[in-house]
Structure 1
């Protein structure tokens, strides 16, 4: 496709000349970068600002490549189809789309907007900023406003102090009472300085400044990382835009769904497809499936969690072997302390905040049944848990001492190990020591093999035997997510009225530890609906999600 680019050159007050150029391609690019078809040496233009595509029949498709948009025929737009004669204004440059002429498929005329014309355009678009620019005079509206404010804002509330019962009458009428002077109850977090108005209102007759907030909330996480959310309306918003005090005990945090849905309902369109986040408008009927965080490893063996949409039958490869069904038998289990019936609460206990579950601890939750003894002649002696080197060291130390001290009543042991040595007996000879320690080494390796592959470690873990020339056993690492929905806030203590299996369906019949027993969105929707749900718990975005918290930036360290 051939484009005719005609530039208007002004040589004098009445002398105009033209310079024609040809551009080949489907799309005509406009911007400040050197590779643009129409180069604009204007700092108000982005490097890649806009594009124009000829779509035939004298029609053109104008598209903005930046969030600010582009002015076409006097209106700001992001994408529009226009015909010949349409005018694009960008800084001090005017581009007029023309009908194709000659052997050209499309044409555009580029001209400059002189300062006087720019001033006229600006003046035309400018809205009135004073009464003198309108048909209304200043004096009588000012006096009328003054009298209304004086009577309603001062005299009428003040009269309640001299007229008995007037304040009660005014409170039940649309007219202002003394409550008119009180903007409302202070938030619970600010009650301790509620009488010190200047703590927030540092300047009379001015809005509360952000510095009044950040002087106390120094380490509060920044709400919008400008590198990640390049949206001026988000990053430049005042604290008081969303956090307004005098709205009651818990009125500082806005919970209105519009706070999030105004942007996220059509986020892909707003960012022209740059956002990878799905559009979300309401939990009840406009929310995608949850993304669950599962354990994963790189090719080098490094732990790297992976996020994926929840799906039925999804597996969680945590490296642990565990059978829920066996542990949740209704008739109980045989334990060293007798018959015992286990429930979910025996292992899954909430933390102090009542939000997440405490990590599973072998010592307090498993050890009562799964003891780590290794020698019938020393039933109270056990190896430590979760440390292969410590297990090996414990076994070597135990049997080396038994071999050197003697008195170990095992028919398989050499005589020097079985013999009980009396106090004052002569020390072992060099040969006897070598024999005793050789037995201890073999016995420790035998005990380790029994522990790792026979009755202890292999019950819950995947075990790899030592390779040739080594003596170290390998236990597959266990990495349970713990927090499966990292971008959502869930509090278990608020759901105590529900049984565990109501949300974690299949837990009592699960026989494999890689069964993902975490619920998806449909399970939550059984009780929770959108912001205006009827018959369900009305849930807004802020019920589960925090507001754009930066992991690193704080309010005192924003760029």
Structure 2
């Protein structure tokens, strides 16, 4: 219900108004239980004087019908019968004084409305500042708002035109440009359009005239992933702010999205909100293969011990290498191994090169594999797949047989047995039996889990190979006619007539292979990390007792399993990197946004044989989660 509608009149205000030399009375009835008094327009009794507070006093009618005066001005400026009061009961005949206003209290009948007769006395002396306020108001006087605005507009327009004529456009720059842009600091038109609102950003086209668009990160703002559109370049790279390096973007620009990152239909799973590295940055994550039958790749965080593992196929015991027995070291003429014996920095000193057998392992391990006890003194070459090893075994055992039976070498060429091949219908020779048996024994000793020659470091895997047809020599043509032509060509070179029919082998076969080791090139390919800079820190050298890797890779010295992922956790990094007061912990200190080049195209992770650029195209959306 609005005030005054349906409520009994509780107050009557009588004001004397002077108009054209005549004094008239104006009567105002106020309904309700409360009468507000003050300078504010919302008051029932409006006293228009700067010395009166906006909300100065109030009179309330209580349940007994009494009228209570209360000072709400936070100052003792309400007087009742010349006595300052904070709260008092009004009686007929009282005089209330508020600044230069007098309110005479009366009541026509008991229980009737309270009558307040308002009289304005002579103006009281005011402070100089208050007295000047009417003169400073822009609503009246010579300098009104409109006149002042018009004059300022003319002055600014004239100044802009004059600066343009004199070639002094830089006077309007809010700040210096960055160092890289300083060569065209006075050429505003390079970046700015001639007519454009001053509050709008510079067009991306102006930036991309020099900075090619292929530096834009493929993982950000994909149409099928991101909920927001790609922001303009200038929204992050703020020019005219006195920054020497425009790429020095503050964390605020990253956090404005990453504090509440969302993706459509959860195409990018496990998205974490990030506000600060020291507080809520998620644990580091590595890319692993998705378990069958899902295939693909997944992101696994370092604290997910159940799923985290190095799926590489190289057997390696870090603890054994770092704690070799003294007798072994003396016999080999070696010093105790440290991490740097195998893990080497790249030329820039930032990243570690992947382990290479020919460079790192041959310092201690032989480059060839001895066939003892089957054939002592004979060796097969390291690094070959099993089908090539079998060929080498055939050559070795064939040479041994010919040394013991020189008469075999004197046979005509068309009757001589060629390792790995026997003509259809031709009986097995003694040489072939010796070579086949020797190959089987050699392969058995190489792949023995007890002797551990190949299996000391490698794993084997069996794969199903689909074959429509196989000819001798490993040729896989598409038709029986192609098979016949291939064999006829091979046999004609040896002056041997082909048989009337050529057998074919159609179907699948199981092939045993040495599993590719696929040593990772980069575990965290999209981070910045400088190993050389960290190695120079005295505290790290002291803590590592000369082996400076161990203070961060603290689990390496005790690792006995090849599946262990020995990357340091984010908690370890936070012991040094924190803000304020610690080492740098900004987003840019670890992450790139623009990636103008593909990462290393060698195999990225230990469980993938596909090139890194193919793998990364599938995990780009995981880059910063």
Q: Give the TM-score normalised by structure 1.
A: 0.55
Shift of 1:526: 0.7
* Cross-structure match for 1:540: 586
1:522 alignment partner, one of 561, 565, 571: 571
2:433 match: 438
Matching residue within 369, 372, 379 for 1:373: 369
Partners of 1:385 and 1:548 in 2: CA distance: 39
The 3 A distance-change label for structure 1 pair 208 and 279 is closer
Change (3 A) 1:238 1:268: closer
Partner-residue secondary structure (3-state), 1:505: coil
Q: Which among 405, 408, 424 is matched to residue 416 of structure 1?
A: 405
Classify the secondary structure of the residue corresponding to 2:381: coil
1:225 paired residue among 214, 222, 227: 222
Among 514, 538, 541, the residue aligned to 1:475: 514
* C-alpha deviation, 1:388, in angstroms: 2.4
Secondary structure, counterpart of 1:287 in structure 2? coil
CA displacement, residues 54-92 of structure 1 (integer Å, 9 cap, x when unaligned): xxxxxxxxxxxxxxxxxxxxxxxxxxxxxxxxxxxxxxx
**What are the superposed Cα offsets for residues 305-363 of structure 1, whole Å, 9 maximum, x if unpaired?**
55245246854343321111221137675499632432212222233454443222122
Q: Does 2:542 align with 1:501?
A: no
Greater mean deviation of Cα atoms: 376-385 or 501-510: 376-385
C-alpha contact (below 8 Å) 1:187/1:247 kept by paired residues: no
Contact kept? 1:224, 1:549, Cα under 8 Å = no
Residues 227, 338 of structure 1: alpha-carbon distance in 2 compared, 3 angstrom cutoff: same
1:380-459 alignment runs, 5 A limit: 382-385=380-383, 387-403=385-401, 406-407=402-403, 415-416=404-405, 430=415, 434-453=429-448, 454-459=451-456
Partners of 2:264 and 2:415 in 1: CA distance? 84
Matched, 1:243 2:241: no
Asked whether the 8 Å contact 1:289–1:309 carries over to 2, the reply is yes
Secondary structure in 1 matching 2:286: strand
Query: Contact 2:309–2:565 at 8 Å: present in 1 too?
Result: yes
**Does residue 1:143 correspond to 2:151, yes or no?**
yes
Decide whether aligned partners of structure 1 residues 303 and 393 sit closer, same or farther in structure 2, where only a CA change above 3 A counts.
farther
1:148-297 equivalences under 5 Å are 183-188=175-180, 190=181, 198-201=189-192, 203=194, 208-216=202-210, 217-222=212-217, 223-231=220-228, 234-235=229-230, 237-246=231-240, 250-267=244-261, 276-295=270-289, 297=291
Q: What is the rounded CA distance, in whole Å, between the counterparts of 2:561 and 2:364 in structure 1?
A: 20
Match of 1:345 among 337, 340, 344: 340
SS of match in other structure, 1:208: coil
Provide closer, same or farther for how the CA distance between residues 297 and 348 of structure 1 changes in structure 2, counting only shifts above 3 A. farther
Using the alignment, how far apart are the partners of 1:382 and 1:292 within structure 2?
A: 37
Q: Which of structures 1 and 2 has the bigger CA Rg? A: 2
Q: What is the alpha-carbon distance in structure 2 between the residues aligned to residue 368 and residue 266 of structure 1?
A: 52
How far off is 1:525 after superposition?
Answer: 0.7
Distance across 1 between alignment mates of 2:272 and 2:360: 41
Q: Deviations over 1:534-557 (max 9, x none)?
A: 331241233333449898799xxx
2-side partners of 1:336 and 1:428: how far apart?
50
Change (3 A) 1:275 1:330: closer
Pairing 1:86-105 to 2, within 5 Å after superposition: none
How far residue 523 of structure 1 moved from its aligned partner, in angstroms, is 0.8
Cα distance change on mapping 1:426 and 1:152 into 2, 3 Å: closer
Structure 1 runs not aligned, ≥5 long: 1-134, 162-177, 408-414, 555-559
Give secondary structure in 2 for the equivalent of 1:528: coil
1:251 aligns to what SS in structure 2?
coil
Q: Name the residue aligned to 1:329.
A: 323
Question: CA separation in 2, counterparts of 1:257 and 1:205?
Answer: 29
SS in structure 1 of the partner of residue 455 of structure 2: helix
Aligned CA distance change for structure 1 residues 428 and 242 (closer, same or farther; 3 Å): closer
Shift, 1:491, TM fit: 3.8
Q: Is the 8 A contact 2:174 2:241 kept in 1?
A: no
- 1:373 aligned counterpart, secondary structure: strand
Q: Is the 8 A contact 2:216 2:594 kept in 1?
A: no
Q: Distance in 1 between matches of 2:524 and 2:569?
A: 10
For normalisation by structure 2, the TM-score amounts to: 0.50
Change beyond 3 A, Cα 1:137–1:270: farther
For structure 2, the residue ranges without an aligned partner over 5 or more in a row are 1-142, 419-428, 465-507, 541-547, 597-615, 621-625
Note closer, same or farther for the CA distance 1:183–1:446 as it changes in structure 2 (3 Å cut): same
How far does residue 213 in structure 1 lie from its aligned partner after superposition? 1.5
TM-superposed CA distance for 1:183, in Å, is 4.0
**Preserved contact between residue 293 and residue 483 of structure 1 (Cα < 8 Å):** no
Q: C-alpha separation between the residues in 1 aligned to 2:160 and 2:463?
A: 89
1: CA distance, partners of 2:289 / 2:208: 38
Does the residue aligned with 1:255 lie in a helix, a strand or coil?
A: coil
Deviation string, structure 1 residues 99-134 (Cα, Å, up to 9, x no partner): xxxxxxxxxxxxxxxxxxxxxxxxxxxxxxxxxxxx
* Alignment RMSD: 4.8
Quickly say closer, same or farther: Cα 1:544–1:517, change in 2 above 3 A. same
Instruction: Determine the C-alpha separation between the residues in 2 that align with 1:459 and 1:493.
Output: 33
Instruction: Please state how far the C-alpha of 1:465 moved relative to its aligned partner.
Output: 8.7
